[in-house]
Amino acid sequence: MRSRSVERFRRRPAETQRKELERLLRECARTEFGRRYGFGEIRTPEAFAQRVERFDYTSFKPYVERMMAGEADVAAPGRVRWFARSSGTTSERSKYLPVTDVSLWRCHTRGLRDVATLYVGQYPSTRVFEGKTLTLGGTCSKSGGIVVGDLSALLVERTPFWSGWFRTPRRETALLADFDEKVERICRECASERVTAFAGVPSWNLALLRRMVEYTGRRNLCEVWPHLELFAHGGVGFEPYRAAFRELIPSAGMHYMETYNASEGFFAIADDASRDDMLLMLDYGTYYEFRDGDEVVPLEGVQAGRRYAMLISSCNGLWRYELGDVVEFTSTDPYRIRVAGRTRQFINAFGEEVVMENAERAVTVAAEATGAVVSEYTAGPRYMTLHGRGAHEWIVEFGRAPESFDAFVQKLDGELMRLNSDYEAKRRSTMAPPEMHVVPAGTFARWMLRRGKNKVPRLANDRRVLEDVLATTAEQDAAVGVRG
């Protein structure tokens, strides 16, 4: 049983990871990358770290471009024909990550199956398998034998069992490019289905589920799908969405299960409903390393309570590749993590050092205090001028407006000061109170569709995202004003 394999790597994490590395080196020794770095001569993790330099997307991109051009045996065995498109938060508009057949089955498919395994372990009396799982996939395109698309679309394309009898909607609907048309078709196809679970990114699913309630004329989703019990979510932090989902699904039997399933690989699953972290999955064809400043350590070198940038070497042909995600270890027996943010998502225009975790907590507290439900948000700096202080500028889309917009901003500001001493110091000296733009429902969804994004950057240290979203709002002539 798969549960025994999970228990085995819980007990022997270092041994499991060492075997993963040995297998990767052996399988890729004859690739160009493997020959260049002498994979056939590497015998230990220490030797691997010494021989192979670290990469980010920009430095690894030449290998990806050659794979996309059709070259075989570049950084993974054979020819790679599948590439996941990810918006990321780097200087690139889009990143293209190789998805090999091996990684599709050893990593992503195993992860999807393990979600089911670990869920049953937590809820043995579940009836989730008596119905269907609704998956809101992305899109993909084919050219010259190469398929490029969102990871969710590649999974629908490449895993018949995932596109088969226990999932909905139909494959053709799931892969539609036009989001509004996709939502309408899903409403028509799935309203009468026995849906017991759904999966994907919270923001896109929230838009779909709200439309489903409107389409059916029901008061909430429990009246549409009374047997609904699971949302397996990932991609962005769930806390800002929790209140909105509870309103849509007012059921004590509804469970939320976090997953860390990125374009680069499937990395972690929440295996204990009483905790707010995830079990790091160690036998998915991925070898992990973690960077703290300039120091990079293998799994056994991490410490609980510390935050690290995560590096992976994997069966999808990425080597010592830094994702840009920051994870915090909550436990080392077994190894559990929570995603603490991005290495590049922060605001530090005035020395305030606000990170995504600060922002998500402050938004949650402000919403709870003012009776609001926040659907989406982004924030960045409003720079200092000769006559004015700098500030943070927020664009917020509410599912339910707060009792007072001013109170929301004040609570947000106060919680950021409580959480972050640097922010507090700057707010009491050089920074003005934050400003908030309130935009209509659907603004961020339109922005993501137009820009080819699948998530909203929460924080940015410049104004590009802010101005782009505001331009989208202006184009729609639907802005409802600025409050500060």
- Reading the block at residue 375, the tokens are 């659907």
User: What is the residue extent of each domain of the chain?
Assistant: 1-343, 346-483
Cα–Cα distance for residue pair 389/383, rounded to 1 Å? 8
Question: Tell me, what's the pLDDT at 87?
Answer: 58
Mean pLDDT of 287-313: 96
CB-based contact 341:421 (threshold 8 Å): no
Q: Residue 310: what pLDDT?
A: 97
pLDDT for the residue 476: 64
pLDDT at 357: 81
Burial class (CB in 10 A: 0-12, 13-18, 19+), 344: middle
481 has pLDDT over 70: no
The CA distance from 182 to 180, in Å, is 5
Query: At the topology level of CATH, where does 1-343 sit?
Result: Rossmann fold (3.40.50)
Per the CB < 8 A criterion, the answer to whether 135 and 200 are in contact is: yes
Out of 155-169, 255-269, 290-304, 391-405, least confident range? 155-169
Please state the rounded mean pLDDT for residues 309-314: 97
pLDDT at 244: 84
pLDDT digits (tens, 9 = 90+) for 94-150: 689 999 999 998 999 899 899 999 999 999 999 999 999 998 877 888 888 899 988
Q: In terms of Cα–Cα distance, which of 247, 260, 135 is closest to 199?
A: 135
Q: What is the pLDDT of residues 7-55, one digit of tens each?
A: 999 999 999 999 999 999 999 999 999 999 999 999 999 999 999 999 9
Pairing of strands 146-149, 82-86: parallel
Quick check: 132 and 168 in contact, CB under 8 A?
Answer: yes
> Is pLDDT of 161 > 80?
no
Ranges assigned E (strand) in 73-121: 82-86, 95-98
> pTM above the 0.75 mark?
yes
Residue 43's pLDDT is: 94
**Interacting residues of 19 by C-beta distance below 8 A, sequence separation 6+:** none
Are 196 and 228 in contact by the 8 Å Cβ rule? The answer is yes
Cβ neighbours of residue 243 under 8 Å, at least 6 residues apart? Answer: 367, 368, 373, 374
**Predicted confidence (pLDDT) per residue in 237-267, tens digit:** 787 778 889 999 999 999 999 999 988 999 9
Range from 33-42, 208-217, 232-241, 376-385 carrying the lowest mean pLDDT: 232-241
* Maximal CA-CA distance, the chain: 68
CA distance 222 to 228: 7
Tokens found for residue 277: 């972290």
Contact 253, 231 (CB under 8 A): no
DSSP letter assigned to residue 28: T
State the DSSP H helix or E strand holding residue 247, giving kind and residue range, or none if neither. helix 239-248
- Tally Cβ neighbours within 10 Å of residue 116: 18
Q: In this model, does residue 329 exceed pLDDT 70? A: yes
User: What pLDDT, on the 0 to 100 scale, is given for residue 386?
Assistant: 57
Q: The tokens of 141 are what?
A: 């395109």
**Mean pLDDT throughout 372-377?**
94
Q: What is the mean pLDDT of residues 423-427?
A: 86
d(CA 262, CA 281): 13
